[in-house]
Structure 1
């Protein structure tokens, strides 16, 4: 192939645009200066009284012994950890976005950090204190397994940003559920790992960085050698193959190096969230102004530099805003980067344009409409199953009871022990049944209103908003009653709903854009919740984790009343609107032809879903995937008409949460697992199966 002579002072990038090396150098210089300024400010921050003068005397070798010790033992290790983590995650995110040709790919959306984290927590539970290189190898294995699963699930027909983010969210939630279960069951062996799991730059010496820095450096050099192949890979498989690129080998090598970089970052500082998404995104935003940044020989080092700026900048911002003790010790840097990264995700999602019709997973599509007799049979079977689950939940637990004990309790003839047990257990059973029904109905309504079969209150941020509102009420007002917690959860859910649907509706409601924005809002809410927990009560993480994992522990009848009232308000309205739900789920034109005003109908439906979600969260905490699994299962059993879907969905939701709560109370009695963890462990495989089925849909 004939090579064309390079244009003087201007070479062409992979897309044919002039690279303008001077512009690239100028951007790199500005970035380097900004990073150095942030590093200088970073070194002056800390709990010890070591300022600029002490640092200058340290540089020239005239510092005091005490000040020099602080700089060497604390300031420099923290700064170097931030640099290493920023470089590693910036590079990893850049490569993953190129390999997947997806601007939303990152170690977070692929579950790499969570996969590494869960294995490290498991090692702590087993009492194994591995040396740094072996811990890094374990993190690599966990991250690689998670990334491989997400990439497989998000491939196939209709692959794109939405499928990738949904698959990563599902896998990440499952891994996080396992991690939280381990943290709750083995609190002594995992002390401090909750904060570390949010990503912290606090270091004890230089050992981990001494081992991981060469790994990051070698991976960086290897990626630079791949820069040409990565440039061509972005042109598509066919074009890259024609130009001599072994696409499969390049993709495999790139993913392995990205996971290796992510594992190195996790080994040093834990899962620092969303740096791998934000850093390359910032650089790519400059490409229209500086086309040369599109080439990977510039994009890779600039993403690494942007990663440094994001990590160090987040740490500096946290300590400036919160003080050295809070921002540097109690609140991990990863909480700040996760919040900033979530905003970047929302911004990218707002720029997303639909490339085609939303594809539903096979199980989400309308099952063949059964006859009325078949519907009645299904309804009776599910109702009997729900009653059976409620009965088992009443009888089983750390103290086993008989049906006669329950009859005596209901008639006021039970003994003190039975009365004590059932006074505590009956509200839990009712809370699980009513909250499960509320979340399931909310999921069915959201899926219809959004016309996205993979949407549910947890994924699109409504549950996270309600959880944040309730957590704020609990932490700011320690004696908060049911009314305040319920009201705060409702406000939080309403704000999240307005934010998600308000942003998604700009330019027309697009279901894919809505889900992406919802995931971003949910991530921001999760970061805010972690911030509030660690800031208010860092030494009582178990209590907060139990509530955030969805638990009926300690529930009383007054806490169940708001859920019952929400169901009494919402169910009749939704039943009268069942025909509207059928039409709204089709498209925007069909309801208008039938005389339905979408401008009035859709906000009403979403408001009812928001109300049901908030009341459920205020009663039992955060429980995910019930609003996804129950409506899917209902449609598979009775078809898509909502006059049949709604009652079956409500019963299935009540059944699922009730069984999850019973299993959590009995499998490790007298210990307990939160119902939300059990429900997530059940719901996640089902969600993964839906994504797998839809790969060839």
Structure 2
């Protein structure tokens, strides 16, 4: 049983008088720290107004310039931070109690992603919504996302891994839709990239003034049902016996938490992981302060902690990088890095909770016939070849097969030669990157013994992205091999970090996935920071890279991926028997003479290198390493001798079709291939979660 899959049950304090004294001390210290941070926050900014000027103004001095700066810029930013922090603190604590899972939060339940999508969609269609209508739209989007994630994760009670994976997949799909809208409607959504990462920049007090009452009502509602949450913590059956309407209570908590999260998103965009960190910090204090676990005490303390985290992150950000950084760099970048550290810490405290190891579609005994395998390989190879031909023909300029034949023979005209010279590196990059990601995903799933794992979820993709984006930003003239080397080195370092953090007297697959998700979130936040810091107005560059695109690929960029496939694929194929054993348990490989840790290390390192070369060639692409192995196992069974070639072909086919579709549907505009794979892969992933959920319920 996981140490973090459930929250501690409510127990009465042993001594009320000392407990009251400790609670008073805790709240006094928390409020004092928050006030101190707020005072420091007011002194920071881009203008020359300093603490002395503000103090003179507070004592009745007449300084119109200082007053204008205070009212027009600094006070709105401070109040926005307080509003967002309190809202997310309350929302996170309520969601954790609802799911009885300390990893539940507006981020992990995709509430923020759903609310963000709703606001961007309104802007994309030209609706300039005031704060309150925008909040209603954000509420609808957040509620739909939270409902889906809770449904797929059995309300969060099935363990932290399933909750995180369901939330991550849903958030990725919603973020892909959001990114697509921002790319297609760049003029209508200008400025929403930084806001989409949690920015406290406010033009005036109007937004905070309209939504602060909404947050106050949500806070009051949470406090009113605090007693019901105490009963709910005892378990559904016990709470029902004690007269609690469990279903109604869960509905009320969900509505209140989503409403608070939507209000926070409307004010400042999705400020990452505050709703996770604030309640965790508050609950940690309950070990030393009896009575703190009661929700009418826990909820306000979580709100204060949330305000402290938001304002503290903003203070540290501007103190480190200067006042101008507060305008360009979203505060959510800093809170996401901090929250990722909290997620990693929580993951390290948990034991393997034994998730569903094999999805219903992955029947190990299916497809034993060599004839079936040959037929599947033939069909997949033909489909991949067809995707190659289609990729060469389709685009903003449609060609005929005869044009391609003439080009291959050097007899095509200047116009067609130019088109095909630009197109074939893109088609090749998609095919090679897809195959590399599929083989890497197959390896990762076998080693982790988790059918829902993939290189992106383990942070390898984000690590390679950090290396590649850093090189593109700081050394724009770097060559292809330098790019691949840096991306590969960053991926290996990220893999080493995740593996080292996950190791605790052995490697737990659940712990590896949770830590990978945390490191991946931190990596994506760093990518955003680098891009926004270096070129804040070029959001198209950021969105295109983060979405995975073959745009502007050259023939030389195909070589690292091709070499990685030629070198590492035979290694993985030779280790196919070991992968079969690793996917079973820890004991069987040891009994049969497999050096478990060395094999794991080599396999994951190979997966990291394959992923890094794919990222350097095509950018950050998700779900290929998840979907392709699953489809392969569904077609030919679970033996890796059969899965690997089929998965490689399916991965190449998936990315190639996604790239062609993205180049063709709205030509001459383009949709990055990564967005298409996310939109295609997410429904499949949701189906896998639902199947494994129902399968577990049927066999449990």
TM-score by length of 1: 0.97
CA distance in 1, matches of 2:78, 2:494: 35
Structure 2: segments with no counterpart, 5+ residues: 1-8, 696-700
Q: Residue 664 and residue 356 in structure 1: after superposition, are their counterparts in 2 closer, same or farther (change >3 A)?
A: closer
Are 1:85 and 2:53 an aligned pair?
A: no
Which residue does 1:618 correspond to in 2? 616
Which residue does 2:284 correspond to in 1? 285
CA deviation after TM superposition for structure 1 residue 402, in Å? 1.1
CA distance in 2, matches of 1:218, 1:367: 56
CA deviation after TM superposition for structure 1 residue 125, in Å? 1.1
Are 1:630 and 2:617 an aligned pair?
A: no
CA distance in 2, matches of 1:359, 1:584: 12
Q: Are the aligned partners of 1:448 and 1:582 in contact in 2 as well (CA < 8 Å)?
A: yes
Which residue does 2:336 correspond to in 1? 338
Which residue does 2:5 correspond to in 1? none
CA deviation after TM superposition for structure 1 residue 157, in Å? 10
Which residue does 1:54 correspond to in 2? 53
Which residue does 1:230 correspond to in 2? 229
CA distance in 2, matches of 1:406, 1:61: 79
Partner of 2:361: helix, strand, or coil? helix
Q: What does the per-residue CA deviation read over 1:117-150, in whole Å, with 9 as the maximum and x for residues that have no partner?
A: 1111111111111121111111110110111111
CA distance in 1, matches of 2:214, 2:122: 22
CA distance in 2, matches of 1:156, 1:288: 26
Which residue does 1:10 correspond to in 2? none
1:15 is aligned, of 7, 11, 14, to 11
Q: Are the aligned partners of 1:504 and 1:514 in contact in 2 as well (CA < 8 Å)?
A: yes
CA distance in 2, matches of 1:609, 1:253: 45
Partner of 1:454: helix, strand, or coil? coil
Q: What does the per-residue CA deviation read over 1:221-242, in whole Å, with 9 as the maximum and x for residues that have no partner?
A: 1111111110111111011111
Q: What does the per-residue CA deviation read over 1:424-448, in whole Å, with 9 as the maximum and x for residues that have no partner?
A: 1111111000000000000000000
Superposed counterparts of 1:318-467, under 5 Å: 318-326=317-325, 328-356=326-354, 358-366=356-364, 368-467=366-465
Partner of 1:293: helix, strand, or coil? coil
Which residue does 2:298 correspond to in 1? 299
Q: Are the aligned partners of 1:623 and 1:676 in contact in 2 as well (CA < 8 Å)?
A: yes
Q: Are the aligned partners of 1:157 and 1:696 in contact in 2 as well (CA < 8 Å)?
A: no
Superposed counterparts of 1:512-531, under 5 Å: 512-531=510-529
Between 80-89 and 595-604, report the one with greater CA deviation.
Answer: 595-604
Q: Are the aligned partners of 2:355 and 2:450 in contact in 1 as well (CA < 8 Å)?
A: no
CA deviation after TM superposition for structure 1 residue 357, in Å? 5.2
CA deviation after TM superposition for structure 1 residue 83, in Å? 0.5
CA deviation after TM superposition for structure 1 residue 204, in Å? 1.2
CA deviation after TM superposition for structure 1 residue 477, in Å? 0.7
Which residue does 1:588 correspond to in 2? 586
Which residue does 1:5 correspond to in 2? none
Which residue does 2:73 correspond to in 1? 74
CA deviation after TM superposition for structure 1 residue 567, in Å? 0.4
Q: Residue 157 and residue 65 in structure 1: after superposition, are their counterparts in 2 closer, same or farther (change >3 A)?
A: closer
Which residue does 1:166 correspond to in 2? 165
CA deviation after TM superposition for structure 1 residue 599, in Å? 2.4
Aligned residue pair count: 684
Which residue does 1:490 correspond to in 2? 488
Q: Are the aligned partners of 2:362 and 2:637 in contact in 1 as well (CA < 8 Å)?
A: no
Which residue does 1:4 correspond to in 2? none
Superposed counterparts of 1:29-48, under 5 Å: 29-48=28-47
Q: Residue 125 and residue 484 in structure 1: after superposition, are their counterparts in 2 closer, same or farther (change >3 A)?
A: same
Please give the root-mean-square deviation of Cα atoms over the aligned residues, in Å: 1.2
Between 626-635 and 540-549, report the one with greater CA deviation.
Answer: 540-549
Q: Are the aligned partners of 1:339 and 1:524 in contact in 2 as well (CA < 8 Å)?
A: yes
Q: Are the aligned partners of 2:162 and 2:355 in contact in 1 as well (CA < 8 Å)?
A: no
Which residue does 1:577 correspond to in 2? 575
CA distance in 2, matches of 1:156, 1:101: 9
Q: Are the aligned partners of 1:367 and 1:636 in contact in 2 as well (CA < 8 Å)?
A: no
CA deviation after TM superposition for structure 1 residue 315, in Å? 0.4
Q: What does the per-residue CA deviation read over 1:393-449, in whole Å, with 9 as the maximum and x for residues that have no partner?
A: 011111111111111111111111111111111111110000000000000000001
Between 586-595 and 356-365, report the one with greater CA deviation.
Answer: 356-365
Structure 1: segments with no counterpart, 5+ residues: 1-12
CA deviation after TM superposition for structure 1 residue 584, in Å? 1.0
Which residue does 2:4 correspond to in 1? none
CA distance in 1, matches of 2:649, 2:358: 24
Q: Are the aligned partners of 1:367 and 1:637 in contact in 2 as well (CA < 8 Å)?
A: no
Q: What does the per-residue CA deviation read over 1:591-629, in whole Å, with 9 as the maximum and x for residues that have no partner?
A: 111111112211111111011000000000011000000
Which residue does 2:244 correspond to in 1? 245
Q: Are the aligned partners of 2:156 and 2:163 in contact in 1 as well (CA < 8 Å)?
A: no
Q: Are the aligned partners of 1:489 and 1:615 in contact in 2 as well (CA < 8 Å)?
A: yes
CA distance in 2, matches of 1:86, 1:645: 47
Q: Are the aligned partners of 1:157 and 1:694 in contact in 2 as well (CA < 8 Å)?
A: no
TM-score by length of 2: 0.96
CA deviation after TM superposition for structure 1 residue 359, in Å? 3.9
Between 528-537 and 591-600, report the one with greater CA deviation.
Answer: 591-600
CA deviation after TM superposition for structure 1 residue 541, in Å? 1.3
Partner of 1:400: helix, strand, or coil? coil
